[in-house]
Structure 1
Amino acid sequence: MKRLIIAAAALCVAGSAQAQMGQRPNPDLDHDGRVTLAEFRKNQADAMLSRFDANKDGKIARAELKPPAGMVAGKEGRGERMWDRLDLNKDGAVTRSEMDAAAKFRFDRGDTNKDGWLSKGEILALRQNRGRDAG
C-alpha cells in the first residue's frame, strides 16, 4: 500500500512538471533529454527576440521593451533592473551576444549538479525561481 501511495504521488508530481514544461517551448532542441548550453542560449535568445524585437532587427532597443504584466516601469521597477543587467555595454540595446551572456549566467546557475547540461528538473527549478534570478 505504501508503494502505491508513493507511486501515485510521483505520477502527480511528474504530471505537474510535464504540464509546466508544456507551457513554454521545449529547450531540448535535439530531444535527447539534456539541454546543453547551446540549446539553452538559442531558446532564451529566440524567446526574447520573438517577444520584444518589434522591428525584427535582431536586437532589442530600449524603446521596444515594454514591461510584461507584473513588472513596474520606472527606475525602481523589476523591468529596469532586468534591463540594466542585460544591456552590458549600456548602449540602449540588447544584442544577441548580451542575450547569450545572460543565458550562460542562468544556465550555470541552473546546472546545480555541474554536469554541463540541464535536466527537466533543473529547468523547472529555473522557471520557478525566475523572479529571483539575476540573469
Structure 2
Amino acid sequence: MDMRRSILALAAGAAVLAGAALAQTAPRQPAPPPPAGDPLGAGTVTRAEAQSRAAALFERFDANRDGKLDPADRAARMTALFDRVDANRDGAISREEFAAMRDRAGRPGRAAPTAALSRDAFLAEALKRFDAADSNHDGKLTREERRAGFAGRRGMMRGGPRGTGAMPPAPPPAGAGA
C-alpha cells in the first residue's frame, strides 16, 4: 500500500508540475489589486500604472528576493502549490485533492522557462506589451485597447490570425489621416 501511495504521489506531483507549471508572465495566482480608483472595468490604465503593477507582480514571484526569476523561485512556488493541494498534510496528493486542485485551477498550465529573468527584463516585457496595446500611443490603455491587445496575444498563442503566427497590424496613431 505504501508503494502505491508513493506512485500516486509521484504521478500527482508530475501532473501538478505539468499542469500547473508557472510561466513568468502568466501566473496562476491572481494579479495584484488594481490601483485605487481604476478597477480596470471601463477605466483606462496608464503606462506608469502598468509598470507599477508589473513591479508588484515581479516582487510576488521573486520568492528568494534575489532580483531575478529563476528555477529556484519556480521551485519555491511549486512547493507552496503542493502544500496548498495537499489538504490533509500527509505528504501525498490523493485523487480527491488532485480533483479539487483541477477544479480550482480551471485552465491548463504552461511550461516553465528554464532561464532566469531579471526584474528589468520582466518590467521591459510588461511595458513592451503595454506599448503594443496602446494603439493611439497616448500612454493610456482604454478598455477597448486592452481587449484588442489580449485578443492579439491570444491569437499569437494559437498560431496567429488564420494560423499565420503574426499579430494583426496596429491601427494608425490617433490623428493620422487616411
| TM-score (normalised: structure 2) | 0.41
Name which structure has the greater RCO, CA cutoff 8 Å, separation 6+.
2
Runs of 4+ in 1 over 3 A off after TM superposition: 23-27, 65-69, 124-131
Unaligned runs of 5+ in 1: 1-22, 73-78, 84-91
Alignment of 1:1-135 (within 5 A): 24-25=31-32, 27=34, 29-31=35-37, 33-50=43-60, 52-65=61-74, 69-72=108-111, 79-80=112-113, 92-131=115-154, 132=156
Provide TM-score, normalisation by structure 1.
Answer: 0.51
Higher helix share: 1
Structure 2 gap ranges (5+): 1-29, 79-106, 158-178
From the CA coordinates, give the structure whose radius of gyration is larger: 2
* Corresponding residue number in structure 1 for 2:19: none
| Amino acid aligned to 1:31 | G
What is the CA distance between 1:108 and its match in structure 2? 0.8
**Structure 1 residue 25: Cα displacement:** 4.2
Q: Give the percent of matched residue pairs that are identical in Structure 1 and Structure 2.
A: 35
How many Å separate the matches in 2 of 1:70 and 1:93? Answer: 19
Output the aligned Cα RMSD.
Answer: 3.2
